[in-house]
Amino acid sequence: MEEEQPTKKRSRIRRIVTFPYRRIQKLLAKRRAAKAEQRSTTAATTTELVNGEREGDSKAIPISLQTAEEDTPTSSVVEISFSDGSETHEDAETESTSEVTESTLEVTEPVDQVNGFSATISSSEALEEETETETSDADTTAETAAETSTSDDNNDNVKKWATAAPSVDLTGDWELLITDEFKREYDDYLRLLDQPAFVRSVALSIVGLTTEETIQKDGGRNLFIRGRNVRGVWERTLSSTGDTEESYIITTADNEQVQAESWWEDAGTKHRSWLRGVSNYGGGSFESLRYLETAPNKDTTEPPRKVLVCESTFHPDDTTREKAHVTWRFQRKQP
């Protein structure tokens, strides 16, 4: 009787895959037939890898096949191909006549045999499903990126006006309305502009001091805005370009010169402006939408009041980044 050789202890990677046994037998038979046909018509090509392994090389690895009714595992061999991660090739061969409907395939592979490359065992159906999922995800990502990169271009489909509607006047001296919801939204807005936690904390503590003065001129062709906060005063005049492609230079609150354009939409009730070519905050464009909305007074005996709404959005040049958005609401200063 031969004496059993002691086995060398090595750290091992264990991979467990559960699947219908008869089904995988049929799949493996089809794969073997297809592989044999491929070998007869196409010469195998290999590429030298960094560790000396070649893409397409395979190793026979012992596995154990065990069912719930049998405590004694049956031996088999699985042949696994190694790759550098750019592609994953797999082939599996097993011989058994077990009548079980489901089995557990346990693959044990010493770490030093893998040499840093990925090894995968899967059925052809699982591989096809994974490929379809990856393709679907890629299509979705491409569609999302296209939608994000052209979000401002959708304004081309909007009817643009050079003047405001006769009943609309954004002129006023405004103070900021502070709510818990606004604070959460403003903090998230600053976070998406890559502002650190300390800066956000300070900004939230003083944002209530923000005021805005607006003067609508020439029927809305020019909208003068004077914003005040603890950083200072930012004055600018937004001149409506209507449906033309004209733009003009404007200086931002960060003392940066950018391209500006603006117009009225929704039949002259909302004023939209763009500041393009911003280099701060990772690069991008600022979009603002101003309009009036009606809000109830705390004193129910008084008529509803007008609130100035300003929706601010930063569109990063890097379309993988999330857009930053915050909605400001101002009420007229009390006399």
Q: Is the pTM of this model over 0.95?
A: no
DSSP notation for 219-255: GGTEEEEEEEETTEEEEEEEEP-TTS---EEEE-TTS
- Quick one: pLDDT at residue 297? 74
- Is residue 302 predicted with pLDDT exceeding 80? no
Query: Which of 17-26, 92-101, 154-163 is predicted least confidently?
Result: 92-101
Question: With 90 as the cut, is the pLDDT of residue 279 above it?
Answer: yes
* DSSP letters spanning 19-32: EEHHHHHHHHHHHH
First vs last C-alpha separation in the chain:
107
Q: What ranges do the domains of the chain cover?
A: 12-141, 154-332
- What's the mean pLDDT in 152-177? 86
Confidence bin at 5 (pLDDT 50/70/90)? low
The yes/no answer on whether domain 154-332 falls in CATH 2.40.128.20 is yes
pLDDT band at 35 (very low <50, low <70, confident <90, very high): confident
Identify the pLDDT of residue 23.
65
Average pLDDT over residues 230-255: 89
Share of the chain above pLDDT 90, in %: 45
pLDDT at 21: 55
Question: What are the CA-CA distances from residue 317 to residues 92, 152, 329 (Å)?
Answer: 47, 12, 27
The sheet carrying 324-332 orders its strands as 232-239, 222-229, 211-217, 172-176, 324-332, 305-316, 284-295, 270-278, 257-265, 248-251
Q: Is the model more confident about 307 or about 80?
A: 307
